[in-house]
Amino acid sequence: MNTAIVYTYSSAPGVTLTLWCWWNDWGTFDAFQAAPSYNQGYNQGTASVTQVKAYMPVADPAIQKPSLAYIVYVQNQSSAGVTMIDVYNAWQ
């Protein structure tokens, strides 16, 4: 299992981030997780991934290589104020 922080951002309570991750890794297991940032900023509160969608735009393979995106929705569910949030990807 491989893991990496794919994005770190600051958010007020109740705000949802929509993060587009473009990877061409069909057939690879991908999972996403969100947590208050351990490494920087205001590291308190609660964050969660509320939804993940896989998206492939229409393309003619004879003209253009197909592309794949994961659309990850992350919400700051904290009432503690502004929080720095890390979004993690795990793949295998």
Q: Which residue would you say has higher pLDDT here, 44 or 13?
A: 13
Bridge partner residues of 10 (DSSP): 84
pLDDT tens digits for range 20-79: 999 888 888 999 999 998 877 667 788 999 999 999 988 888 898 888 999 999 999 988
Q: What is the pLDDT of residue 41?
A: 66
Rounded-to-integer distance, Cα 45 and Cα 17, Å: 16
pLDDT at 40: 72
Interval 6-26 mean pLDDT: 92
Q: Are 57 and 67 in contact (CB under 8 A)?
A: yes
Q: Are 59 and 66 in contact (CB under 8 A)?
A: yes
Domain boundaries, the chain: 2-91
